C-alpha cells in the first residue's frame, strides 16, 4: 500500500496510486445471436492530462492572438528588452511578427523577420502533438526528440544565429529584424 523511502534517517511514505480498471461488460446481441464483451470507455482525469489540455489551450490562444492582431500596428505585444536596452537583437527578436506573417501565409515575410521561424514552428507543432497525446492517451509519444543532444544543437544554432544577426556587415544585416 505504501512505499517507504529512507534517506539520512528521514522516513516518509508516499501513497501508491491504485488505478481502477473497468470491468468488462457482457451482453447478448439479438441480431448476431451471441454474447459480446466490451470494455466501457473510461477517462481518468489525472493532473498530467489536465495540464496537457491547458497547454494545448494556451498554445491555441496564443496562436489566435498572434494571428488576429498585427504586432506591427497594435501595442499589445511587448518589445524585446535586450533590443530596447542594448540595441542587439536576440535570437527570438521578430518571432511574433514572423508568426503573424506565417499564419497569414506569407512565408518570405516571416523569414524576413526571423530566419528561425520554421525551427520554432516545428518545436511548437511537436509540443502540440505531445500535449494532445498526453491529454488523449494519458501518456506521451513513444519517440521523443527531447534529449540533451537535441537541446544542445538547438541552443547552439540559436547562439550562432544571435551572433551572426548582430554583425554590421552586408550579408548579415539581412538577418537583423
Number of domains in the chain: 1
Note down the domain range covering 121: 46-173
Q: In the structure, what pLDDT confidence band is assigned to residue 58 with cuts at 50, 70 and 90?
A: very high
pLDDT of residue 158: 92
Instruction: Count CB atoms within 10 A of the CB of residue 124.
Output: 14
| Residue 117 pLDDT > 90 | yes
Would 17 be classed as within a structural domain? no
Residues 6+ away with beta carbon under 8 Å from 33: none
pLDDT of residue 171: 82
Residues 6+ away with beta carbon under 8 Å from 29: 35, 36
Would 60 be classed as within a structural domain? yes
Residues 6+ away with beta carbon under 8 Å from 26: 35, 36, 37
Q: What is the mean pLDDT of residues 34-61?
A: 75
Of the candidates 131, 95, 100, the one whose C-alpha atom is nearest the C-alpha of residue 113 is 95
Would 38 be classed as within a structural domain? no
Give the lowest-confidence range in 29-33, 65-69, 111-115: 29-33
| Residue 149 pLDDT > 70 | yes
| Residue 78 pLDDT > 80 | yes
Amino acid at each position: 500500500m505504501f512505499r517507504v523511502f529512507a534517506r539520512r534517517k528521514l522516513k516518509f511514505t508516499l501513497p501508491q496510486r491504485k488505478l481502477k480498471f473497468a470491468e468488462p461488460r457482457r451482453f447478448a446481441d439479438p441480431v448476431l445471436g451471441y454474447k459480446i464483451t466490451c470494455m466501457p470507455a473510461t477517462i481518468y482525469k489525472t493532473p498530467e492530462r489536465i495540464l496537457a489540455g491547458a497547454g494545448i489551450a494556451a498554445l491555441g490562444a496564443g496562436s489566435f492572438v498572434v494571428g488576429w492582431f498585427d504586432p506591427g500596428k497594435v501595442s499589445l505585444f511587448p518589445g524585446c528588452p535586450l533590443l530596447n536596452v542594448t540595441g542587439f537583437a536576440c535570437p527570438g527578436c521578430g518571432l511574433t511578427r514572423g508568426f503573424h506573417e506565417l499564419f497569414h501565409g506569407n512565408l518570405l515575410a516571416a523569414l524576413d523577420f526571423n530566419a528561425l521561424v520554421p525551427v520554432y514552428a516545428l518545436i511548437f507543432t511537436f509540443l502540440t502533438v505531445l500535449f494532445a497525446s498526453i491529454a488523449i492517451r494519458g501518456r506521451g509519444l513513444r519517440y521523443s526528440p527531447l534529449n540533451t543532444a537535441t537541446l544542445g544543437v538547438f541552443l547552439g544554432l540559436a547562439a550562432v544565429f544571435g551572433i551572426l544577426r548582430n554583425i554590421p556587415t552586408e550579408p548579415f544585416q539581412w538577418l537583423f529584424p
